[in-house]
Amino acid sequence: MRFVYAHFPINASITNGAKSIEIRNFLGEKKVRKVDMLDGVSILRSEKVKDELILDGNDIELVSRSCALINQKCHVKNKDIRKFLDGIYVSERATINTEE
């Protein structure tokens, strides 16, 4: 998942042993948005790409639902969403296949 912002940079901190995320400074708001991951889903910051989160888990359904929870927490309300494109969006979805 990637952070998209125009003016106010979104700050996200991973808490509770990679089981929840706190989102700060979304659209310049002082409110802290907290999202708990579902069971079996862990979250980490990407070291290669700036402003990217990586969600990892065994069940793709739970990982997808956790991504949706993060996306819905950063939904822009009472503004024109064509102009205010800020948020956290899913950038890539993949499964890791290990060959034996």
Element housing 2 (H / E) = strand 2-4
Strand intervals (E) in the chain: 2-4, 11-15, 20-24, 33-36, 41-45, 53-57, 87-89
pTM for this prediction: 0.84
**pLDDT, position 69:** 94
**pLDDT, position 81:** 82
**pLDDT, position 75:** 87
Element housing 85 (H / E) = none
**pLDDT, position 76:** 86
Instruction: Out of 4-13, 30-39, 46-55, 88-97, pick the least confident.
Output: 88-97
Q: Are strands 20-24 and 11-15 parallel, antiparallel or unpaired?
A: antiparallel
Please check whether residue 1 is in contact with residue 89, taking contact to mean a CB–CB distance below 8 angstroms.
Answer: yes
Extract the tokens encoding 5. 């912002």
Mean pLDDT of the chain, nearest integer: 90
CATH number of 2-89: 3.90.930.12
Q: Which residue has the tokens 């996306």?
A: 71
Q: How many residues are recorded in the chain?
A: 100
pLDDT in tens, 23-39: 999 988 899 999 999 99
pLDDT band at 100 (very low <50, low <70, confident <90, very high): low
